[in-house]
Chains A and B, each alone.
Chain A
Amino acid sequence: MSDHLSSVTLNALADGELIGEQLVRVNEHLAECAQCTSSALAQSLLKSATARAGQRYAPAPELREQLARLAAQEGRRAQASYYRVAWGLRSYVWAALAAVLLVSVGLFVQYRVQRATDNARLASYTGLVTEVCDQHIATLAANSPPEVISSDRHTVKPWFQGKIPFSFNLPQDLPGDTALDGANLTYLHSQPTAQLLYSIGKHRVSVFVQQRSDAAIANGVMVNRTGFNLTGFHTDDLEVVAVSDVDPARLADLAERIKKAQAGVEGKPK
Chain B
Amino acid sequence: MALLPWKRAVPKSGPQTSMFEDLALPLLPSLYNMAMWLCRNPADAEDLVQETFLKALRGFALFEPGTNFKAWSFRILRNTYLTSRSGLAAMRTVSLEDELEGRDDLGPRLVPEAAIDRQTPEVNLMRLSDQAALRAAMEKLTPPLLEVILLCDVEEMKYREIAAVMEIPIGTVMSRIARARTALREMLRVNAPASTSNDGGTDR
A and B associate: yes
Q: Identify whether the interface residues of B are mostly helix, strand, loop, or mixed.
A: helix
Q: Identify whether the interface residues of A are mostly helix, strand, loop, or mixed.
A: helix
In the assembled complex, which residues on chain A have CB atoms less than 8 Å from the CB atom of B153?
Answer: 47-48, 50-51, 54
Residue of B nearest to A55 (CB): B154
Residue of A nearest to B188 (CB): A46
Task: Pick the interface stretch among A36-44, A179-187, A192-200.
Answer: A36-44
Tell me whether A141 is interfacial, beta carbon within 8 Å: no
Tell me whether B178 is interfacial, beta carbon within 8 Å: yes
Tell me whether B37 is interfacial, beta carbon within 8 Å: yes
Tell me whether B92 is interfacial, beta carbon within 8 Å: no
In the assembled complex, which residues on chain A have CB atoms less than 8 Å from the CB atom of B21?
Answer: 68, 71
- Chain B 92-131 residues near chain A, CB threshold 8 A: 107-108, 111, 113, 115-121, 124-125, 128-129, 131
B151, chain A: closest CB distance, angstroms: 10
A38, chain B: closest CB distance, angstroms: 6
Tell me whether B45 is interfacial, beta carbon within 8 Å: yes
A128 to B27, CA, bound (A): 94
Q: How many A-B residue pairs have CB under 8 A?
A: 171
- Chain A 58-91 residues near chain B, CB threshold 8 A: 58-60, 63-64, 66-68, 70-72, 74-75, 78-79, 82-83, 86, 89-90
Residue of A nearest to B61 (CB): A78
With A45-B124, A55-B154, A64-B28 as given contacts, are A90 and B6 in contact (CB-CB < 8 Å)?
yes
A78, chain B: closest CB distance, angstroms: 5
A11 to B182, CA, bound (A): 10
B17: contacting residue among A11, A46, A75, CB under 8 A: A75
- Chain B 1-41 residues near chain A, CB threshold 8 A: 3-4, 6, 9-10, 13-14, 16-17, 20-21, 24-25, 28-29, 32-33, 36-37
Tell me whether B135 is interfacial, beta carbon within 8 Å: yes
B33: contacting residue among A4, A15, A55, A93, CB under 8 A: A55
A17 to B153, CA, bound (A): 13
B135: contacting residue among A56, A64, A75, CB under 8 A: A56
In the assembled complex, which residues on chain A have CB atoms less than 8 Å from the CB atom of B50?
Answer: 63, 66-67, 70
Interface size on A, residues (CB 8 A): 50
B67, chain A: closest CB distance, angstroms: 20
Inter-subunit contact B203/A56 (CB<8 Å): yes
A85 to B29, CA, bound (A): 37
Closest 10 CB pairs of A and B: A75-B17, A54-B154, A49-B128, A57-B36, A59-B32, A86-B6, A42-B117, A53-B134, A51-B153, A50-B153
A residues with a Cβ closer than 8 A to B are 1, 4, 6-8, 10-12, 15, 17, 35, 38-39, 41-43, 45-60, 63-64, 66-68, 70-72, 74-75, 78-79, 82-83, 86, 89-90, 93
B residues with a Cβ closer than 8 A to A are 3-4, 6, 9-10, 13-14, 16-17, 20-21, 24-25, 28-29, 32-33, 36-37, 45-46, 49-50, 53-54, 57-58, 107-108, 111, 113, 115-121, 124-125, 128-129, 131, 134-135, 138, 149-150, 152-154, 156, 158-159, 174-175, 177-178, 181-182, 184-185, 202-204
Q: List 24 A-B contacts (CB under 8 A).
A: A7-B111, A8-B174, A42-B121, A42-B124, A42-B185, A50-B134, A51-B156, A56-B203, A58-B33, A58-B202, A59-B29, A59-B32, A63-B50, A64-B25, A67-B28, A70-B53, A74-B17, A74-B57, A75-B14, A78-B17, A79-B14, A82-B6, A86-B6, A86-B9
